[in-house]
């Protein structure tokens, strides 16, 4: 489960209702960026703000629109094990490629309790389980040793989305402990190069220009680390800007709207709004990078980046 997996936002109408027509345009956009797969109902997808019926509409809307053209991973995180199991079963029955599961918030998290939670989900389904290691959102620390042992107990959970900062040292440690585990980074791709150097297989993250990450990872995988670094450096300011703490969701939705992936940049309340000065700064950054007009379309940018990536 390497390469680039684009974690996408959930589109809403201006009044906060689910924007189902935008699910289709979002799927078309992601397919056109050339990513390995897409992930829905993660933290970026505002999953905690959705009802069960809305979750089902998002899952079926995206799977219907992608129509098997790329694999879809579905976030199934819940603090109750039985609800996480129910979400996982729903995703598998709908046709998801895999599910993503963060550890539950516990008053006293222990390895034994976390292991029971993950194994219950693994036992209930047959598709892969991505272990999301993101303490900033879960409040739970999982050691590399725990995740390596979990993969031994349940090879189905041998995929780790590793986002404990600083991520590269933990990527290296997990790779040494469990050479067969698939490791993908995240965190807005801010440490992508370092994660790849530490042994990551790719990244699963939210970023409004996922085809940039595709080009970087393809060049790295081809052995052209200098070329990958040049591409990363070219877009590093955009990666940094998009991943601003407390504003990254609003910024990314604005980017997806600007690129035609979704009709509205609405963030479901309660949430802050995008400050006008932030939108102005983003426009300025787009101009500096030449990301205007046709270059905002995924096909055009991909055509520019991939020939250089493939041929060197």
Strand 98-101 to 72-75 pairing: parallel
Separation CA 217–CA 4 (nearest Å): 7
The CB density around residue 13, as the number of other CB atoms within 10 Å, is 14
Q: Mind spelling out the 3-state secondary structure of 242-310?
A: HCCCCCHHHHHHHHHHHCCCCCCCCCCCCCCCCCHHHHHHHHHHHHHHCCCHHHHCHHHHHHHHHHHHH
Backbone angles phi, psi at 131, to 5 degrees: -85, 110
Query: Which tokens sit at 114?
Result: 């976390």
Which string of DSSP letters, residue by residue, matches 120-167? HHHHH-SS-EEEEE-HHHH-----HHHHHHHHHH-GGG-EEEE-PSSH
Separation CA 90–CA 110 (nearest Å): 27
Query: Which tokens sit at 97?
Result: 């490629």
* 3 state DSSP class of 196: helix
**With contact defined as beta carbons under 8 Å apart, do 302 and 214 qualify?**
yes
Whether 253 is a known active-site residue: answer no
As a residue count, the chain comes to: 312
| Residue of 161, 170, 173, 253 marked active site | 161
For the annotated catalytic residues, the residue numbers are: 161
């Amino acid at each position: 489960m390497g390469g680039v997996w684009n974690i996408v936002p959930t589109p809403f109408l201006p009044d906060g209702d689910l924007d189902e027509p935008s699910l289709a345009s979002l799927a078309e956009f992601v397919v056109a960026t050339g990513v390995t797969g897409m992930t829905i109902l993660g933290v970026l997808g505002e999953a905690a703000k959705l009802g069960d019926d809305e979750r089902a509409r998002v899952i079926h809307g995206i799977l219907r629109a992608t129509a098997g053209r790329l694999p879809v991973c579905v976030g199934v995180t819940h603090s109750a094990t039985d609800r996480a199991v129910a979400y996982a079963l729903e995703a598998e029955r709908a046709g998801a490629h895999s599910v993503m599961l963060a550890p539950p918030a516990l008053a006293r998290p222990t390895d034994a309790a976390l292991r029971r939670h993950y194994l219950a989900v693994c036992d209930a389904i047959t598709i892969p389980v991505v272990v999301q290691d993101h303490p900033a959102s879960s409040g739970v620390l999982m050691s590399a040793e725990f995740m390596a042992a979990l993969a031994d107990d349940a090879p189905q959970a041998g995929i780790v989305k590793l986002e404990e900062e600083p991520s590269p040292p933990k990527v290296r440690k997990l790779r040494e402990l469990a050479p067969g585990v698939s490791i993908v980074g995240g965190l807005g791709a801010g440490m992508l190069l370092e994660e790849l150097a530490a042994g990551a297989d790719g990244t699963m993250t939210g970023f409004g220009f996922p085809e940039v990450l595709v080009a970087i990872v393809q060049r790295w995988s081809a052995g052209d680390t200098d070329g990958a670094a040049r591409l990363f450096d070219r877009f590093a300011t955009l990666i940094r800007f998009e991943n601003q703490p407390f504003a990254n969701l609003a910024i990314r939705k604005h980017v997806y709207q600007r690129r035609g992936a979704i009709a509205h940049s609405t963030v479901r309340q309660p949430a802050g709004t995008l400050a006008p000065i932030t939108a102005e700064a983003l426009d300025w950054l787009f101009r500096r990078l030449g990301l205007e007009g046709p270059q905002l379309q995924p096909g055009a940018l991909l055509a520019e980046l991939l020939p250089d990536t493939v041929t060197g």
